[in-house]
């Protein structure tokens, strides 16, 4: 049986943190934002990553689990983004160009899912692009 290394799970947990930060940037999580994340996991991420955890679940679902838990806990969006940024800067090689493109695509879809992007979400998306620009290809 194939078991997954913890860094892969941490990668997807940190993406859940980022996507929560994008949705919570305006201090309100809309059902449409969470639904967009779930749909994007099914249609984009699950075909991108087929690795399973020790419970035989695709590791991509860690994004959904973290997002939902942080919504329940009502965590601060900026703190979540800062934690994600720290993770990115500690693990830059994990963020390939292909992964970065899918991350930005997912974050943008979440921001667009309820009445388009608002100012807070646009700022957070801009910070994400700037963060990724700090990484070497």
Is 95 a domain residue? yes
**CA dist list (Å): 68 to 72, 91, 96:** 6, 24, 26
Over residues 100-129, mean pLDDT: 91
Do the Cβ atoms of 90 and 46 come closer than 8 Å?
A: no
What is the tally of structural domains in the chain? 1
Do the Cβ atoms of 49 and 58 come closer than 8 Å?
A: yes
Residue 103: pLDDT band with limits 50, 70, 90: very high
R_g of the chain, CA atoms, integer Å: 14
Is 89 a domain residue? yes
The pair of structure tokens assigned to 32 is 């449409």
Quote the domain boundaries for residue 33. 6-133
Is 1 a domain residue? no
| Structure confidence at residue 2 (pLDDT) | 41
16: left (phi over 0), alpha (psi -120 to 50) or beta: alpha
pLDDT exceeds 60 at position 114 = yes
Is 51 a domain residue? yes
Is 42 a domain residue? yes
Instruction: Name which of 127, 49, 34 is nearest 94 in CA terms.
Output: 49
pLDDT exceeds 50 at position 59 = yes
pLDDT in tens, 3-52: 444 568 999 999 999 999 999 999 989 999 999 999 999 999 998 888 88
Q: Is 86 exposed, middle or buried (0-12, 13-18, 19+ CB in 10 A)?
A: exposed
d(CA 65, CA 52): 15
| Structure confidence at residue 118 (pLDDT) | 78
| Structure confidence at residue 55 (pLDDT) | 85
> Pick the residue with more confidence: 1 or 17?
17
d(CA 32, CA 78): 21
| Structure confidence at residue 4 (pLDDT) | 42
Is 97 a domain residue? yes
Is 16 a domain residue? yes
pLDDT exceeds 60 at position 1 = no
């Amino acid at each position: 049986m194939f078991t997954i290394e913890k860094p892969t799970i941490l990668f997807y947990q940190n993406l859940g943190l980022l996507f929560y930060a994008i949705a919570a940037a305006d201090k309100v999580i809309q059902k449409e934002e969470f639904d967009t994340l779930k749909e994007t996991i099914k249609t984009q991420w699950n075909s991108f990553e087929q690795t399973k955890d020790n419970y035989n679940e695709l590791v991509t679902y860690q994004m959904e689990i973290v997002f939902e838990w942080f919504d329940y806990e009502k965590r601060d969006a900026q703190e979540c983004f800062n934690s994600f940024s720290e993770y990115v800067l500690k693990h830059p090689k994990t963020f390939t160009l292909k992964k970065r493109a899918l991350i930005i695509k997912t974050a943008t879809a979440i921001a667009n899912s309820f009445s388009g992007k608002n100012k807070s979400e646009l700022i957070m998306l801009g910070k994400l692009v700037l963060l990724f620009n700090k990484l070497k290809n």
